[in-house]
Amino acid sequence: MGLLLNEQFNEDGILGMWEITEDFNTLRSMVNLDNSDIETLESFKNHQRKLEWLSVRVLLNTLVDKESKIVYGPDRKPYIQTNSHNISISHSKDLTALLLNKKKRVGLDLEFMTDKILRIADKFMRPEELNAIDENQRLYHLYLHWCAKEALYKICDKVDINFVTNLNIEPFKPKESGIIIGTVNNSYMNEKFKLNYSTIKNYSIVWCYK
């Protein structure tokens, strides 16, 4: 399948998704890697992790250009080496997603939906958030909350954030796509964000930029 989505947000932002249907050799042939990249790739023991890592680079090269390279800071936050865009990365099962913006902070999360989230919902949601869940769409609604909080966690650089105490999602009725309002309140900020969400092929995806 390869490129599943390439959506431009005005002239500065891009959301891209890649469906991994290629084998390792095919993906490897689609991207140019330097020696440090090759060393990183070969360090992964898990085959799926190698496919995910390669698909991120292939997708970035498809969305931006073939010379774009991802590097990581001391906090393990990803950057594009040329600083052409801010970047957020997510992958789950067979999909990889990237959110890019030239000027704004970005946060993105993608999740393949399974019933395992039913057992851990109280670990990342406030009681009032749980009480507002649509029982007819419980699984999807829970995943949207999880993805929204992950996206907020990433856009705020993962600093001093507890999913229950520092992140709040306002009540909303889940649709195929829409808007979620979330707030980050910790020792560094008290800030409200508008998050976009959608669902595709049993995946939920939430992204934001500000």
- List residues bridging with 206 in a β-sheet: 109, 197
What amino acid is encoded at 187 in this protein? S
Q: What is the pLDDT of residue 5?
A: 86
If you average pLDDT over residues 10-30, what whole number do you get? 94
* pLDDT tens profile 107-123: 999 999 999 999 999 99
> Quick one: pLDDT band at residue 106, thresholds 50, 70, 90?
very high
Same domain, 77 and 150: no
Rounded CA-CA distance 38/68 in Å is 15
Same domain, 92 and 47: yes
Same domain, 137 and 180: yes
Please identify, among 78, 108, 138, the residue that sits at the C-terminal boundary of a domain. Answer: 108
Same domain, 60 and 41: yes
Range of the domain at 39: 2-108
Same domain, 114 and 150: yes
CATH code at 72? 3.90.470.20
Same domain, 137 and 85: no
Q: What is the pLDDT of residue 1?
A: 65
Asked, for residue 210, whether it belongs to a domain, the answer is no
- List residues bridging with 196 in a β-sheet: 179, 207
* Cα distances (angstroms) measured from residue 155 to each of 20, 44, 107, 146, 148: 26, 27, 4, 14, 11
Same domain, 88 and 154: no
Rounded CA-CA distance 154/107 in Å is 5
Asked, for residue 186, whether it belongs to a domain, the answer is yes
Structural domains counted in the chain:
2
**Mean pLDDT, rounded, of the chain:** 94
Q: Residues 19, 4: contact at Cβ < 8 Å?
A: yes
Please identify, among 70, 88, 108, the residue that sits at the C-terminal boundary of a domain. Answer: 108
Q: What is the pLDDT of residue 82?
A: 86
Asked, for residue 12, whether it belongs to a domain, the answer is yes
Q: Is the pLDDT of residue 130 over 90?
A: yes
Same domain, 104 and 8: yes
Same domain, 58 and 128: no
Same domain, 147 and 91: no
Same domain, 117 and 103: no
CA triple 112-69-63, angle to 5 deg: 60
The pTM is what?
Answer: 0.94
CB atoms within 10 A of CB 168: 18
What amino acid is encoded at 175 in this protein? K
Q: Is the pLDDT of residue 200 over 70?
A: yes
Please identify, among 71, 89, 108, the residue that sits at the C-terminal boundary of a domain. Answer: 108
